């Protein structure tokens, strides 16, 4: 029994030595070679796929970023006759669509509130609630100021009924994310349109509209944030209406 065990042990040792020698000579069994080759191919394939996918993803991201930037830029570019006020509470896009002599509206020209040499400034105001609060917006609270040398003017939306021009006759309560569009006509001297330099939402305690209770307005501080003092921007946008006469 001892000789048999010694023979087995000797055979095992011999096999291990042969194996080491074969490895030293660079000889690899076919199965082992195939396994290593497969591993190499798999690693290379994974590397190529990963690099390609990464490049595609980076390209797609770059394209998406450029498109988004272009869309954002286009969204905030105003025409010559437009002004945009925007903050975290609300935004107002003001478009000055044209100007005409008051005499083109006979009923308005006969109105004692205005003078026949006055002009009508046509506008469209789009108001959007960007906040999570409701607020009341009163169009007749908007005032446009103008100045040139030692002269100054101001104009407010028309509030007179039935004279052929748009009237600011309502109060709008905007819910979160709600948007309204209002047409307003301002009546003023031509010089006021030519030299407009400031737009403001004023805090008036009472108005000409009988259907508005100013003491009960909700979150009045929000629309009061509308105040544009960029003289050149205001003049450019408002006076552009004269080109559409």
2: confidence class by pLDDT, cuts 50, 70, 90: very low
pLDDT at site 101: 96
Percent helix, strand, coil in the chain, to 5, is 45, 25, 30
58: confidence class by pLDDT, cuts 50, 70, 90: low
| 142: helix, strand or coil | strand
| 200: helix, strand or coil | strand
Q: What's the chain's average pLDDT? A: 78
d(CA 140, CA 158) in angstroms, rounded, equals 8
23: confidence class by pLDDT, cuts 50, 70, 90: very low
* pLDDT, mean of residues 8-22: 45
Least confident of 88-92, 137-141, 205-209, 225-229: 205-209
* pLDDT, mean of residues 161-181: 93
Higher pLDDT pick, 221 / 61: 221
Least confident of 5-9, 57-61, 115-119: 5-9
Residue 16 above 90 pLDDT?
A: no
User: Beta 142-148 vs 151-155: how paired, if at all?
Assistant: antiparallel
pLDDT at site 170: 81
What's the gap between Cα 222 and its chain centre?
19
CB 223 within 8 A of CB 201: yes
Give φ, ψ of 214 to 5 degrees: -65, -30
From first CA to last CA, the distance across the chain in angstroms is 122
């Amino acid at each position: 029994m001892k000789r048999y065990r010694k023979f087995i042990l000797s055979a095992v040792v011999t096999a291990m030595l042969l194996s080491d020698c074969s490895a030293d000579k660079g000889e690899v069994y076919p199965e082992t070679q195939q396994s290593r080759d497969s591993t190499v191919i798999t690693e290379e394939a994974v590397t190529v796929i990963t690099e390609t996918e990464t490049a595609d993803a980076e390209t797609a991201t770059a394209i998406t970023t450029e498109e988004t930037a272009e869309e954002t830029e286009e969204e905030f570019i105003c025409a010559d006759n437009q002004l945009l006020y925007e903050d975290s509470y609300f935004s107002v896009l003001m478009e000055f669509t044209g100007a005409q002599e008051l005499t083109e509206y006979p009923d308005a020209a006969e109105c004692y509130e205005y003078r026949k040499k006055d002009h009508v400034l046509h506008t469209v105001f789009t108001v959007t609630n960007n906040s999570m609060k409701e607020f009341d917006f009163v169009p007749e609270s908007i005032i446009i100021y103008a100045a040139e040398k030692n002269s100054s003017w101001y104009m407010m939306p028309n509030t007179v009924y039935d004279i052929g021009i748009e009237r600011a006759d309502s109060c709008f309560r905007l819910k979160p994310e709600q948007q309204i569009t209002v047409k307003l006509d301002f009546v003023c001297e031509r010089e006021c349109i030519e030299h407009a330099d400031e737009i403001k939402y004023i805090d008036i305690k009472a108005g000409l509209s009988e259907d508005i209770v100013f003491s009960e307005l909700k979150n009045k501080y929000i629309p009061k944030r509308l105040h544009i003092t960029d003289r050149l921007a205001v003049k450019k946008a408002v006076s552009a209406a004269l080109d559409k006469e």
